Chains A and B, each alone.
Chain A
Amino acid sequence: MRTEDRHEDLLRALAPQVLGALVHRYGRFDACEDAVQEALLAAATQWPREGVPDHPRAWLVTVASRRLTDELRAEQARRRREDAVAAEPPPAPVADTDDTLALLVLCCHPALSPASQIALTLRAVGGLTTGEIARAFLVPEATMGQRISRAKQTIKAAGGTFALPPERELADRLRVVLHVLYLIFNEGYSATAGPDLQRADLVREAIRLTRSVLALRPDDGEVAALLALTLLTDARRAARTGPDGALVPLAEQDRALWRREEITEGAALVTDALARVRVGPYQVQAAIAAVHAEAPRAEDTDWPQILALYELLEGMAPNPVVTLNHAVALAMVRGPQAGLDLLATLDGDARLRDTHRVEAVRAHLLELAGERPAALAAYRSAARRTTSLPEKRHLEARAARLG
């Protein structure tokens, strides 16, 4: 590993601890978060030059505290000029606990939009800089900076506090955290071009953060399942695009390129997670990914089992995307017409914004059914409607094969 990478890993691991320490001492999540960001940036420039300090966490806490007190003093002076009395924040004892979970729950506050939850989580918990997050999401740094500061204002206005909610509420809040981590993962995983490094970083970051949540909630089957799902999905990364960057469908991927290490870890996590009393949607999705991963060749796939799992998922967390996948599984078990019939139930579904997905699946099932002209028309329609370049290329290639 390069020295810069080691510094980066260290900074990212320390970021939530330093932020937690500051918030315990001074309150004011928004100001503390800014101060920690500045300390991280200072470390990123100083450590490579001067070496990592003996106590990196203490170094960061000291630098961030200095920035924060400077800022608070300046703010106080401003207020005094305005003849208002500023109360000094009460110093609280610094608890030596892991604040990662409390930070995640706060950053994934339900008052925020998913885009804001993602940005704030990556910065405050992931220790990424605003510039890195902006590059990963292909927006200017100013846009991302504004998104993050607006998110902090929103949390403040919504009365969000840096404390874990009671256990019953925590379970719901944790679902939001898992969803945000999954969105971060997908953002990185679905990328096929662009600044690849930054995008791959999102995958690494999502897996790293999910691991840290699992360490804090080892008995939560859904956390383990999310980790499994991301590992099992990421295992396919090298096989999912061809040399020209075009997407390779699951059935045609070179399974020798799948990463065994991730599959083994993911499959073990799923087996363990499925043994829990309550089974949740991530457990079912991870189980589906594991069944795919276990098939040495596409034709060895245990479709009846996948179909049963989709039926379970449909009952548990019904949504049109699940129905789409369910239709494919149904077609593989009972024939293309059964899949097409299920697909027809989605026609006019207002929840399906990206209608190209329905058309793409319909095209695939029509092709399986041997209805070439209809399949061709559906492929072309899907290719026109997608906003994804690699999907467009893939769908056009399918259409060309039939045309």
Chain B
Amino acid sequence: MKYMLLIYQNPANWQELPDGERDAIMSDAGAIVEELTASGELIGGEGLADSSLAKTVRVRDGVPAVTDGPFVEAKEHLAGYCLFECETPERAIEIAVRWPDARHWAVELRPLMTASGEEM
């Protein structure tokens, strides 16, 4: 089963974190990525630039409207993602629980849709 782990952060309190904790978050996340790479579970993942750099695009009646900033005004923003494939839902949850951002904010685990299906 393939999952996307959506990693949320609050940019304001990210900056207030002590240096040591910021480093710990980075290295803990790095260690999980290394583990998932070695096990052949990692598919990909990236960090996202600050949401102040986001552009939200809407097209209405063929007319595009591009506005600065994220689609949803919220304290917590999508800060990155990790895409992996694992054997069981339990394993996916185990990975999410260990993801360091979950200690301060939240991570969201979403199964991916597939193009496979069974006729009924």
Contacts and interface: CB of A to CB of B under 8 A. Distances in A.
Interface in A115-148: 115-116, 138-140, 142-148
Contacts of B120: 247, 249-250, 360-361, 364, 391, 394
A150 B40 contact: yes
B43 A139 contact: yes
Contact of A248 (B40, B42, B119): B119
A190 B116 contact: yes
B40 A249 contact: no
A72 to B, nearest CB: 24
A387 B44 contact: no
B72 to A, nearest CB: 21
Contacts, number: 82
B39 to A, nearest CB: 6
Interface stretch (B10-18, B55-63, B106-114): B106-114
A192 B115 contact: yes
Contact of A113 (B87, B111, B115): B87
Contacts of B41: 143, 147
Interface residues of B, number: 23
Interface string A170-199: 000000000000000001001111100000
Contacts of A116: 40
A353 interface: yes
Interface size class of chain A, counting residues whose CB lies under 8 Å from the partner chain: 35 or more
B69 interface: no
Nearest to B84: A143
A183 to B, nearest CB: 12
A136 to B, nearest CB: 12
Contacts of A139: 43, 85
A390 interface: yes
Interface string B47-83: 0000000000000000000000000000000000000
A391 B117 contact: yes
Contacts of A144: 40
B118 A190 contact: yes
Contacts of B87: 113-115
A146 B43 CA distance: 11
Given A146-B38, A149-B40, A150-B39, 9 more contacts: A115-B87, A140-B43, A148-B40, A190-B117, A193-B115, A247-B120, A353-B89, A361-B120, A389-B113
16 contacts: A114-B87, A138-B2, A140-B44, A143-B41, A146-B39, A150-B40, A187-B116, A190-B118, A192-B116, A240-B119, A249-B119, A249-B120, A250-B120, A386-B117, A388-B116, A388-B118
